[in-house]
Amino acid sequence: MRARIYAPLASAATLPLLLAGCSGSSASDDKAVAAPPMRLVSYDGCDALLDGLRQATAERVGPFGLGVPEPYGPFATGDGGTEITKGAVPGPSPADAGRSAPQHSGTNVHEAGADEPDLVKTDGRRIVALAQGRLQVIDPATHKVAHTLGLPGGDGYRAASTSARLLLSGDRALVLTPRTPMVMYDGLRPRAGAEDAPRPGPPRPQTVLTLVDLSGAPKVIGSMTSDTVYVDARMTGSVARVVVRSTPRIDFPAPSRAPRAQQDSERKATERNREIVRKAPLDAWLPGFTVGEGSAAKTYRAPCGQVSRPASYTGTSMLSVLTLDLSRGLGDPSPVGIAADGETVYGNGSSLYVTGTPPSLVGLPRKGAAPQAQHTDVHMFDVRGPGRPRYVASGSVPGTLLNQYALSEHGGNLRVATTATAPPKPGTQPPATESTLYVLGRNGPRLDQVGRVAGLGKGERIHSVRFIGATAYVVTFRQVDPLYVIDLNDPRHPRVKGELKINGYSAYLHPTADGKILGIGRDADASGRTTGLLASLFDVGGEPRRVASYRLPGAASASDFEPHAFLYWPSTGLTVVPVSRPESGASEALALKVTGSGITKVGAVRHGDGSGEGSVQRSLMVGGTLWTFSDAGARATDAATLADRAWLPFAQR
């Protein structure tokens, strides 16, 4: 196999000793925390690409093949056709397009320059929501559902309506829908007498992209389908970058289940499967992206020159980054592929980062192999142009990420916060953990460590991270909540400049209008047992201190793990989070007023009985109206008094 290398191969490094350093220490050249060198290499043509993919997959195949390719996730219901239902109230007219939109909130995103898919979007003139397997278009001026649009389904699949998300650009909406098979796969149980007969592969999950025109009554104007798992997406202007992953599409015979010579049978089955892999075509690894339907459908794949792999290994899964300009419709998505896994996406409008865990570190180590320390690979793309993303550099850091908020680009550097778990040792409980903040700088095609702060929360894990300019706020937790304030003005010598320990933890951190930090999370007793919802206001101007708090015993908020569910309106301090009480099943939108010195309850907004379809999921502001959304409908509420203005039930499936 030949590969074209983007940079001279760095010398091999020993896997890091993750738990070195002391609290608040910083270093730029400590080899004890260096992760293995990381960069991408491309291939000298399709033959080299196919040889590499076959070899990597053959090394990992077993008697049962590669297993079920992806977890299916929860099934969801949804209608299978495309249907438009017109309400009594028309949608925004062409004349409305020239009318200035009232002040309105957008999706609570990580970076202002990169919009993120969500359940609800608004431009102030219209609200577009996903509920009941349909696109619901609301006129906020009249408090009416103007239109609903049934989204396309597919034979053998159900639309995962609870997982679908949308992006909005002008008069066009892009709906991103993960689809799951309607039936579970039982391919490991061969029929009698058919143990070694070929069998079809398992039903595969799909990603369906649907482009909708909203200039009048909404209508579908384009679709794209692929046998991939949706990871995430970002949009700047009208250009969306969609990240998906896929596993090889190879059918393996069912192995024999006969008790005689089972080990010998499995050995033969493994070798037979390796031979199948060695004969598989390139299309088994390169996913196809099919635009349109029927005779007009056209399938696109990544060109061999746009596929690369990490220099130190070749994965069996394929990570693909697609480029779609909503203003031009759906056509060639210009896919870029990496033979690696991907789980977390971070973007800021000019750069797109995708991170993943190397395959050798996923799952249990092979028998007889020494435990390996975890690390996370990071791949950076330049997305400033309208075409294909341009690969820039890759790096690797010890440990694993909490979510995209553990990443931040600033001043040409990437800041990454991770928690590392030491390789297990017999008799050690619990495993030793420690968190570290790394600063990575670009060195040609590599993202190299230039600075770090180690020793954060020994024995704990990161529960939230927020980067604001040259300052990082990191919360770790096991029994108490240490909030670390980290000065990153000198990226080569970052330092902890403050630390606050309190019971409980903040799972989401948000900057307020007066420079303080609002945390939403869980209260806890001295033993670390969580007791309910906790909102905390932190003054971080000097040594961090909590200046106000609000507690709701027995409750929890989806904002803990879903920042899109959080609403903060800076002009008034109105803060809205969905709240549930697991014991009773009740749900509501909790409205708080956050000032520079206090947090007070304004009230609560409920949908129906507050349970089931009435569980509030999102909220937004349009003018002086607070809108809250559940799968059952939308409620318009006076933002100042919380007086009810209108209830809009959503059309049923």
pLDDT tens, position by position, 190-232: 444 445 555 555 678 899 999 999 999 999 999 999 999 999 9
pLDDT of residue 151: 84
Mean pLDDT across the stretch 608-630? 86
pLDDT of residue 574: 98
pLDDT exceeds cutoff 70 at 428: no
Question: How far apart, in whole angstroms, are the C-alpha atoms of residue 621 and residue 568?
Answer: 9
- Higher pLDDT residue, 581 or 424? 581
pLDDT tens, position by position, 278-315: 999 999 999 999 999 888 999 999 999 999 999 888 88
Find, among 596, 351, 154, 622, the residue nearest to 634 by Cα.
622
Contact 70, 125 (CB under 8 A): no
Question: How far apart, in whole angstroms, are the C-alpha atoms of residue 63 and residue 574?
Answer: 58
- Considering only 57-61, 325-329, 409-413, which range has the smallest mean pLDDT? 57-61
pTM for this entry? 0.87
pLDDT of residue 523: 94
If you count them, how many residues does the chain have? 653
In terms of Cβ atoms closer than 10 Å to its own Cβ (0-12, 13-18, 19+), residue 427 is: exposed
Residue 298 — φ and ψ, nearest 5°? -135, 135
Question: How far apart, in whole angstroms, are the C-alpha atoms of residue 241 and residue 208?
Answer: 14
pLDDT of residue 312: 83
Find, among 281, 300, 297, the residue nearest to 228 by Cα.
300
- Higher pLDDT residue, 480 or 13? 480
Q: How confident is the model at residue 78 (pLDDT cuts 50, 70, 90)?
A: very low
pLDDT exceeds cutoff 50 at 414: yes
- Higher pLDDT residue, 160 or 29? 160
Contact 337, 286 (CB under 8 A): yes
Q: What is the DSSP string of 32-74?
A: GGPPPP--EEEESSHHHHHHHHHHHHHHH-BTTBT--SS----
pLDDT tens, position by position, 245-269: 999 999 888 766 555 556 678 888 8
Find, among 471, 480, 560, 479, the residue nearest to 511 by Cα.
471
Q: How confident is the model at residue 5 (pLDDT cuts 50, 70, 90)?
A: very low
* DSSP β-bridge partners for residue 230: 244
Residue with tokens 């030793």: 432
Contact 566, 558 (CB under 8 A): no
Quick one: tokens of 357? 């865990």
Mean pLDDT across the stretch 450-462? 94
Question: How far apart, in whole angstroms, are the C-alpha atoms of residue 132 and residue 599?
Answer: 35
Question: How far apart, in whole angstroms, are the C-alpha atoms of residue 632 and residue 84?
Answer: 19
pLDDT of residue 311: 87
Residue with tokens 């502001």: 621
Q: How confident is the model at residue 400 (pLDDT cuts 50, 70, 90)?
A: very high
pLDDT tens, position by position, 488-533: 999 999 999 999 999 999 999 999 999 999 999 999 988 889 999 9
